[in-house]
Every structure is written in C-alpha cells, then in structure tokens.
Amino acid sequence: MASEPDAGSDARPLGRRALLGSLAATAVGIVFGARIQERLQRALLPITLHDPTGLSDLLPVAGRFRIYSVTGDLPSRSKEAYTLRVEGLVARPTTFTYDDIRNRLPQTALTRDFQCVTGWRVYDVAWAGVQLRELLDRVDVDASATHLKLTSFDGTYVETLTIDQARRDDVLIAHTLEGSDISDEHGGPVRLYIAPMYGYKSIKWLERIELADHLPDGGGYWEHRGYDIDGWTGRSNGGHEDPT
Ligand SMILES: Nc1nc2c(c(=O)[nH]1)N[C@H]1C(S)=C(S)[C@@H](COP(=O)(O)O)O[C@H]1N2
Ligand SMILES: [Mo]
C-alpha cells in the first residue's frame, strides 16, 4: 500500500519520501477506502519470506530494522530531560522520570520478533524495560477507564490500547534494545514495545499516556490510514494466525 514505505524501499525512508507517503495514504484512504484491506493483504505476503541470504543475522540491529518516522525527522530527548506522564482517568496522575523507568521500577526482559505489517521482520530482538501494567498499578486507574491513548514527543504519532491489552505481560515501556540504550532513531530514550502486535502499535518517543473511558480519537495514527485498531500479528490486516 502507499502508506508506510514497503519492504522493497530503501532502509531509511525518512524525510520527503515518508511525508509524501503519508499524504498519499490519506488520499487513498479517502478515495479508495474499501481497497485498503486488500492492499494490506498483499503487503503481508513478504512476511513469510525468511531472509534467503542469512546476511541480516550478521548486521547490527539498526541495520536489520527499518527506521520509521512519520514526521520525517528524528526527535531527540536526553535521559535527563525525559519524562513520561500518566494521567486522565487515574486517582494519582504521575510523571515518571527516565531513572524511575530504568532503575526504580521492576524490570522485564523479552526476546521476540519485531514485525512490520509492510513485510519486514527482525527475528529474536532482545528488549528490556518495565511492563506497562507496572505503571498502571502505580497511578490507581479508575474503574471507568477502558482505553489508553499514547502520545509521542514527535508531536504527531498517537496510539491506543484497551486496558486488557495494556495489562498483558508482553507489553513493555522499553529502554533497552539488544543490550544498549534505545537510540534516538529507534524511539529512545523510551518507547513502547508490544510483542504480539505489528510494529505500528509500538509507538516511539513515548511521552504521555492518558486513561479514557472510550476509544480515544477513533484509534491511532495508522489506524486512521487503514490499519486495524487491534494490531495482532497474523490475525489482523488480512492474516489468519492466532495472537501469541
Ligand atoms: N512516533 C512514531 N512511532 C512509530 C512510528 C513512527 O513513524 N513514529 N512507526 C511505527 C511503525 S509502522 C513501525 S514498523 C515501528 C518501526 O520501529 P523502528 O523505526 O525502530 O524500526 O515503529 C512504529 N512506531
Ligand atoms: Mo510498520
């Protein structure tokens, strides 16, 4: 589809290309809304192709991922300046620092594939961070809350989750990728990592989480451009497997 740069495009699809891509996707969504699902199904096919050269295993992680930013630039925030605000329908709105997330909250490590719906996949990526539910437990979420809205400090990207999704074991507020601090390009110092969902749910440069009693904004950035709100790998966007 004409939205995210696909697996055949170059490895750093930033800037003008990404901007034009998202404008094109918006136009496609308006004019040919019904075809989006079909396009997504075709885009899924390359996911089943393993790297035939085996070369990707020899490359550093940044070389195996494609770096995405819908704003066309790479936001940057120091660990010292970084905060994550959790607010909305909670009894105790809280601002977590990088130090809280890196050193004070219980840590979880997870090694899972990272899979973009457009057809690239990075096998066995090691992530570390704090389970999102650990943060939720500390802010006293109201019984009326059903959804989360997650916002990026890129000023544009937004994602949503249901409360049940957010409380899963395999949803991390991540600070470490393959044993190193998450770089600016990968959405550091802190990004979301949702192991059982496509990459578009894993919002980079995470800045704010708001609890709400409805689906905020009708879904996230790419959901407004045709992707499923629940981004389970395999099952969503034309696939058939159950989520793991
Ligand atoms: N803020 C922000 N988060 C984002 C994106 C983005 O463009 N901006 N792209 C999403 C998509 S579609 C994918 S596949 C992954 C890519 O992560 P990476 O750039 O670390 O490879 O980030 C997701 N999170
Ligand atoms: Mo993606």
Residues 6+ apart with CB under 8 A from 227: 40, 117, 198, 200, 236, 237
Q: Please give the Cα distance from 15 to 74 (Å, whole number).
A: 10
Ligand 1 atom having least distance to the Cα of 222: 12
Q: How far is CA 135 from CA 132, 188, 191, 233, in A?
A: 5, 18, 14, 25
Which pLDDT band holds residue 24 (cuts at 50, 70, 90)?
very low
Which pLDDT band holds residue 65 (cuts at 50, 70, 90)?
confident
How confident is the model at residue 101, as a pLDDT? Answer: 98
Mean pLDDT estimate for the chain: 80
Of all protein residues, the one whose alpha carbon is nearest to atom 2 of ligand 1 is: 204
pLDDT at 21 over 80: no
Q: Please give the Cα distance from 143 to 155 (Å, whole number).
A: 29
How confident is the model at residue 28, as a pLDDT? Answer: 36
How confident is the model at residue 234, as a pLDDT? Answer: 82
How confident is the model at residue 3, as a pLDDT? Answer: 59
Contact between 200 and 119 under an 8 Å Cβ cutoff? The reply is no
- Centre of ligand 1 from the C-alpha of residue 187, in Å: 8
How confident is the model at residue 7, as a pLDDT? Answer: 47
How confident is the model at residue 237, as a pLDDT? Answer: 55
Residue 203, token pair as written in the block? 């919002």
Pocket test for ligand 1, best of 14, 47, 59, 68 (most atoms within 8 A of CB): 68
Which pLDDT band holds residue 194 (cuts at 50, 70, 90)?
very high
Q: Please give the Cα distance from 148 to 146 (Å, whole number).
A: 7
pLDDT at 177 over 90: yes
Determine what percent of the chain is predicted with pLDDT higher than 90.
Answer: 66
- Centre of ligand 2 from the C-alpha of residue 144, in Å: 31
Cα 210 to the center of its chain, rounded Å: 16
Ligand 1 atom having least distance to the Cα of 154: 1
Neighbours of ion ligand 2 (CB under 5 A): 116, 199-200
pLDDT at 241 over 80: no
Average pLDDT (28-50) is 35
φ and ψ of 64, to 5 deg: -90, -30
Contact between 137 and 162 under an 8 Å Cβ cutoff? The reply is no
Q: Please give the Cα distance from 106 to 134 (Å, whole number).
A: 8
Question: Is any atom of ligand 1 closer than 6 Å to the C-beta of 116?
Answer: yes
- Centre of ligand 2 from the C-alpha of residue 150, in Å: 17
pLDDT at 159 over 60: yes
Instruction: Note the pTM of the prediction, 2 decimals.
Output: 0.78
How confident is the model at residue 218, as a pLDDT? Answer: 95
pLDDT single digits (tens) 78-105: 999 999 999 999 999 999 999 999 999 9
Domains and CATH numbers, the chain: 16-69 (no CATH), 83-225 (3.90.420.10)
Ligand 1 atom having least distance to the Cα of 157: 1
How confident is the model at residue 119, as a pLDDT? Answer: 85
Q: How far is CA 4 from CA 13, 44, 69, 136, 177, in A?
A: 9, 13, 10, 31, 23
Q: Please give the Cα distance from 39 to 219 (Å, whole number).
A: 20
Question: Is any atom of ligand 1 closer than 6 Å to the C-beta of 68?
Answer: yes
Determine what percent of the chain is predicted with pLDDT higher than 70.
Answer: 70
Ligand 1 atom having least distance to the Cα of 205: 1
